[in-house]
Structure 1
């Protein structure tokens, strides 16, 4: 397939779809003809199909299984699913989605049904928040990519957000605006996302030769109420921060409300930056500067890696980290003259 793809000027996934006569692939007749021509020129023996079979039976729809533990309690897994669906369709595959809600019995039954699909290319195994998982053994015999999770030894192909880089980028952006006293309202500390965003925050401070002040680190619970309460506590310090970095947009929303309650202007008196780039961040007052959590790109990447595995390619690394950019809006400015 590598030779055919190179000669035809297409991807290996396209070659696979053409040679397997997968239905649903959005490929032009010219592309199909070119792939078949190059395949025959290179001596590839096309699989024999019984001409007496109805067309619907002669073709086989390529399917990518997508297992996720939950999608209804957060917007993030839905966006990852959208990216995976679009990437699958672009390569002539349909995405078959199953939500298991972490029920082992339901998960095992779902996996058994998926593996019985005649056109199954492989499986994307996803979780709602980043964490280590014990992968069901039945999946290990098929092409498999983990999404937003990883195995304990990090040996299986996995796509995760680059949270350390995200925490670093958000803090670095505040430093670049002139802030030297930057608070961080983090999420629940047992979660990998919170641990890694904190690492990024501390690394950015260290890189800029700014001291880490434990008083400026507060733990929230990802909800707006904790952002509100922790922002009030931070501004009551003898030396309050000139900027607040919140580990998600909901806590940043709470921080904005707390600052408004105190009569402080954002960003004239205090700057605020969030994380996630949820829809609400565009509609706060002022609109919230934040950092993208690249869920859509992660979903797309997981499918692309899965198709590479199915085509027999060897991946250069097991763990793929995806970073998101800072989205500049109106909640960050340079520190007020009176800020410490």
Structure 2
């Protein structure tokens, strides 16, 4: 494809789109003809070329897209994103090849080389934690489209998609405020993580918008685990004035929160409301089912595939970071302070 691109005077990505006959691409017939003619002259014989109605066309040939992620086993988000990319890839007749690198400085370049040697026409690069990354120089030299998923670079050289975490934290907190809560606690993730920082920022913005004073005693530093949710909830319940609602910044934390509240014989949501974040499968099976926010990794995987055509080299173009909504899934773990009668007033207001 590199040789054909040089001969046809276009990018390797354009060659890939033409040879794979990728649906939905806006390439002129003149460009398609030029690529096919260059392929013929270079003796490229993998597909069978044919001419129909005066224009050249290709028989359908499946493309191959590489998907690199630093970690697969720590949480379901990577698998969900891969599934979103897989669905979008298969819809266009493309195959997805996945590699886990653990961010290893020696093994990651070898994994990328193995993918490029196998003939991938594009690459998606994902990190399990939302963050800014410094892409090694060899990525800039790859002559294929590259999209970043759940991460971004400071030079904005690659299209990037991340969750809208600040808005997600704000939406979750506003939902509690709308039910009449003013003493709202939150159990955060690890403070060095951008997702935890952004969700806390959203929490504080929602309080400020509602003119509710920020109380640092209601913010418990956690660690995304059920044990952190349990211990954090116990600390909150020991306050002279405990909260009426707890925003757990992930669902595993909420599981521990549920256990602590039940141990104290407090009812959810009649005595205290609980809201989570991530929408893991367990949310539907808790008693009561947990109100939570969706991490849009499925949509992010789809977005990455759909925007490969904007990621073609060279890397001089600057791309805005796309943020996808963390929508709220309303279930039964939130009501107004004081129980069902007050909650009915909120619903009818």
Query: Which TM-score band (shorter chain)?
Result: 0.7 to 0.9
Question: Which of 20, 27, 36 pairs up with 1:47?
Answer: 36
* Cα distance per residue 1:104-159 (max 9 Å; x no partner): 111011112222344x3221111111122221212113321111112234453211
Aligned partners of 2:84 and 2:17: how far apart in 1?
A: 25
**Alpha-carbon offset, residue 307 of structure 1:** 2.7
Question: Which residues in structure 2 correspond to 1:116-265 (within 5 Å)?
Answer: 116-118=117-119, 120-141=120-141, 142=143, 143-265=145-267
Bigger Cα displacement from structure 2, 105-114 vs 301-310: 301-310
**Alpha-carbon offset, residue 317 of structure 1:** 3.9
Q: Is the 8 A contact 1:130 1:149 kept in 2?
A: yes
* Cα distance per residue 1:201-233 (max 9 Å; x no partner): 000000111000011000111110110111111
Q: Is the 8 A contact 1:287 1:329 kept in 2?
A: yes
Aligned partners of 2:85 and 2:271: how far apart in 1?
A: 42
**Alpha-carbon offset, residue 16 of structure 1:** 6.3
Distance 1:84 1:17, change over 3 A: farther
Aligned partners of 2:232 and 2:44: how far apart in 1?
A: 68
- The reply to whether residue 285 of structure 1 matches residue 263 of structure 2 is no
Aligned partners of 1:196 and 1:207: how far apart in 2?
A: 16
Which secondary structure state, in structure 1, belongs to the residue aligned with residue 78 of structure 2? helix
1:67 maps to 68
1:89 maps to 90
- The reply to whether residue 78 of structure 1 matches residue 71 of structure 2 is no
Q: Is the 8 A contact 1:272 1:331 kept in 2?
A: yes
Distance 1:44 1:249, change over 3 A: same
Aligned partners of 1:87 and 1:152: how far apart in 2?
A: 28
Bigger Cα displacement from structure 2, 180-189 vs 126-135: 126-135
Bigger Cα displacement from structure 2, 80-89 vs 163-172: 80-89
Bigger Cα displacement from structure 2, 161-170 vs 100-109: 100-109
Aligned partners of 1:103 and 1:191: how far apart in 2?
A: 20
Which secondary structure state, in structure 1, belongs to the residue aligned with residue 195 of structure 2? helix
Q: Extract unaligned runs of 5+ from structure 2.
A: 1-12, 50-58, 343-349
- The reply to whether residue 300 of structure 1 matches residue 302 of structure 2 is yes
The TM-score, its normalising length taken from structure 2, stands at 0.81
* Cα distance per residue 1:36-60 (max 9 Å; x no partner): 9x837x9954613659986657765
Distance 1:211 1:165, change over 3 A: same
Aligned CA RMSD, in angstroms, stands at 3.0
Distance 1:181 1:39, change over 3 A: same
Which secondary structure state, in structure 2, belongs to the residue aligned with residue 20 of structure 1? helix
Q: Extract unaligned runs of 5+ from structure 1.
A: 1-14
Bigger Cα displacement from structure 2, 88-97 vs 287-296: 88-97
Q: Is the 8 A contact 1:242 1:336 kept in 2?
A: no
Q: Is the 8 A contact 1:16 1:311 kept in 2?
A: no
**Alpha-carbon offset, residue 263 of structure 1:** 0.7
Q: Is the 8 A contact 1:19 1:46 kept in 2?
A: no
2:311 maps to 309
Aligned partners of 1:245 and 1:78: how far apart in 2?
A: 26
Which secondary structure state, in structure 2, belongs to the residue aligned with residue 65 of structure 1? strand
